[in-house]
């Protein structure tokens, strides 16, 4: 089964988390301006879907996936999306952000792990085991936001949506920016976090 996850810049965003596999991403352009992002995702189980209201402070809503409209296959989800771009004579376009659903998996290399930057179109890189998350992002253009790189500013707050068990122990500096609920949900400060196995990270 497939669902469509919607994000509207400046209003809310819907995150890919455990139980959801991103397949395709699309931008919705209205007279040339991006008004929404859509991700077609495959449901694996019955996960809760995190929808973040982009207010200050952000409001996190956990929506049971049973409330989302389901599509039996990818084509049905695409057809539903395409119907959005037909509205009278208006200049509306849907632009696909990922040319292909899934890249073939590279064979694992000894001593290397995979990091998937979910908020960067699912970009996947291989780095040395025990790499620092922010440094890996910088080297590989992963896109995690940052300022200080020293655990002070809070900018690099991110969420390890898969593979949290591969992250090292939470540091005291991280606790200055993250409460217990956020830590339990997989939030970390990228500049303070080292990973010893495959992880997927969003922000």
137 binds ligand FES (CB under 6 A): no
The site string for ligand FES over 87-126 (x = CB under 6 A, - otherwise) reads ----------------------------------------
Question: Taking contact as CB under 6 A, which single stretch among the options 106-114, 118-126, 140-148, 159-167 is the one that binds ligand FES?
Answer: 140-148
Q: Which of 194, 159, 196, 152 is nearest to 174 (CA)?
A: 152
Tokens of 193: 């976090």
Between 143 and 149, name the residue whose CB sits nearer to ligand FES.
149
Among 149, 168, 182, 198, binds ligand FES (CB under 6 A): 149
Shortest Cβ distance from residue 107 to ligand FES (Å)? 33
Residues 6 or more apart whose CB falls under 8 angstroms from that of 4 comprise: 38, 39, 40, 41, 68, 69, 71, 77, 80, 81
> How many Å is the Cα radius of gyration of the chain?
18
Question: Taking contact as CB under 6 A, which single stretch among the options 15-23, 110-118, 135-143, 150-158 is the one that binds ligand FES?
Answer: 150-158
* SS3 assignment, position 121: coil
**Residue pair 137/144 in contact by the 8 Å Cβ criterion:** yes
170 binds ligand FES (CB under 6 A): no
Tokens of 136: 């890996």
Tokens of 192: 């303070």
Question: Taking contact as CB under 6 A, which single stretch among the options 14-22, 94-102, 105-113, 153-161 is the one that binds ligand FES?
Answer: 153-161
């Amino acid at each position: 089964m497939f669902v469509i996850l919607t994000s509207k810049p400046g209003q809310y965003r819907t995150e890919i988390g455990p139980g959801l596999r991103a397949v395709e991403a699309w931008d919705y352009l209205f007279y040339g301006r991006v008004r929404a992002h859509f991700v077609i995702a495959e449901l694996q189980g019955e996960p809760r879907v995190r929808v973040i209201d982009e207010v200050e402070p952000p409001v996190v809503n956990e929506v049971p996936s049973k409330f989302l409209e389901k599509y039996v296959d990818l084509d049905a989800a695409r057809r539903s999306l395409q119907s959005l771009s037909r509205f009278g004579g208006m200049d509306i376009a849907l632009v696909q952000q990922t040319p292909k659903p899934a890249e073939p998996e590279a064979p694992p290399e000894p001593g290397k792990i995979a990091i998937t930057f979910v908020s960067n179109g699912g970009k996947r890189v291989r780095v040395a085991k025990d790499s620092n998350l922010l440094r890996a992002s910088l080297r590989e253009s992963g896109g995690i936001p940052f300022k200080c790189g020293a655990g002070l500013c809070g900018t690099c707050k991110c969420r390890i949506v898969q593979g949290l068990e591969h992250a090292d122990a939470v540091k005291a500096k991280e606790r200055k920016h993250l409460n217990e609920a956020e830590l339990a949900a997989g939030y970390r400060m990228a500049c303070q976090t080292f990973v010893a196995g495959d992880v997927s990270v969003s922000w």
